[in-house]
Amino acid sequence: MAFTVQDFEDLVRLLEEKPEWRERMRQLILTRELLQLPDLVRQLIESVQRLSEEFAAYRQLTDQRFAELAEAQQRTEQRLQQLSEEFAAYRQLTDQRFAETNQQIAELVTAVRDLVRRLERLEDWQRGESGRRDGERYEQQVIARAPALFYGGSGGGMGEPHLREQLGRWLASLYRQGIEIDEHDDPLLADLIWWKGDRVMVTEVSLKVDAQDVRRAAARARTLRQVGINATPTVIGREWATPDTQALAQQEGVEWMVGSGLSQGFLEFRQISDGQEEAE
């Protein structure tokens, strides 16, 4: 029996009128996989929708995290900028303090050096002053002991009026001629003038006899010889300043009593009789 168009139309009408028949027909006609397709599509849609929601939440979380990271980075950059500015200010302050410290150290070093120089000058002055006082005491002792050192005679140091008067008489001819005597050559500046008979000792006194002592004694004795006085240059001291000083004394014709040593001329002066006390 052939299935006609009318039969098909009747079947469609019956399927439309009987939904349970339509479901049954679908199960008979469609495969199991096709029947499950709507559910699978629905599940897929639900999965896609769920994934979309999860992605949206993840996107929102990611955007929030990125925003937080960007904010944290901005705070970090601001903090770094602040630290950089603080370090620059600290570096500037440190450099300034370092420069000030160096300046203070330099000033302190200068002050210390100046103090050391002052102390050295003070020590030199003290040594010089001590040496000068020792020299003055020694000179006073020699003048006081002159009668014993020369074995009699007359004279003294420049502080004694009678000696200055005697020298004034000896040098009167030079004064009358208007001749000025240089201090290096002036017998009035000698440490000690001593005489026996017509012999006069023009003496320089020093703890350490040096070349200047020798030359002053020689020059001052020559001045007296210019006016006819039999003057002999002499030096008295505890020691020679240098070994060459004694040789210079011999060269300049200067007699001496240095330490325990006496020159031949000094010994000879000691032997002169003390009968005539003033050389006219």
- How many angstroms separate the CA atoms of 280 and 277, rounded? 10
Q: How confident is residue 277, by pLDDT bands cut at 50, 70 and 90?
A: very low
Which of 24-28, 107-111, 241-245 is predicted least confidently? 24-28
Helix axes 211-226, 243-252, angle to 10 degrees: 10
Q: Give pLDDT tens digits for 214-224.
A: 999 999 999 99
Q: Is 64 left (phi over 0), alpha (psi -120 to 50) or beta?
A: alpha
Q: Is the dihedral of CA 87, 89, 91, 97 positive or negative?
A: negative
Amino acid at 89: A
User: For residue 102, what pLDDT band results from cuts at 50, 70 and 90?
Assistant: confident
CA distances from 116 to 50, 109, 123, 131 (A): 94, 10, 10, 22
What is the share, in percent, of the chain residues with pLDDT greater than 90? 44
- What CATH topology corresponds to 145-271? Trna Endonuclease; Chain: A, domain 1 (3.40.1350)
Cα–Cα distance for residue pair 237/139, rounded to 1 Å: 9
Strand partners, 233: 202
Q: Which residue did the predictor score with more confidence, 80 or 143?
A: 143
- Averaged confidence pLDDT in the chain: 84
Q: Which residues contact 252 (CB under 8 A, 6 or more apart)?
A: 214, 215, 218, 233
Neighbour-count burial for 158-173, b at 16+ CB within 10 Å, e otherwise: beeeebeebbeebbee
Return the percentage of the chain with pLDDT > 70, whole number.
Answer: 86
- The ranges assigned to domains in the chain are 145-271
Q: Which whole-number Å values give the CA distances from 220 to 65, 97, 171, 181, 249, in the listed order?
A: 112, 67, 12, 10, 14
Task: State pTM to two decimals.
Answer: 0.56
Q: How far apart are the first and last CA of the chain?
A: 200
- For residues 191 and 222, is the Cβ–Cβ distance under 8 A? no
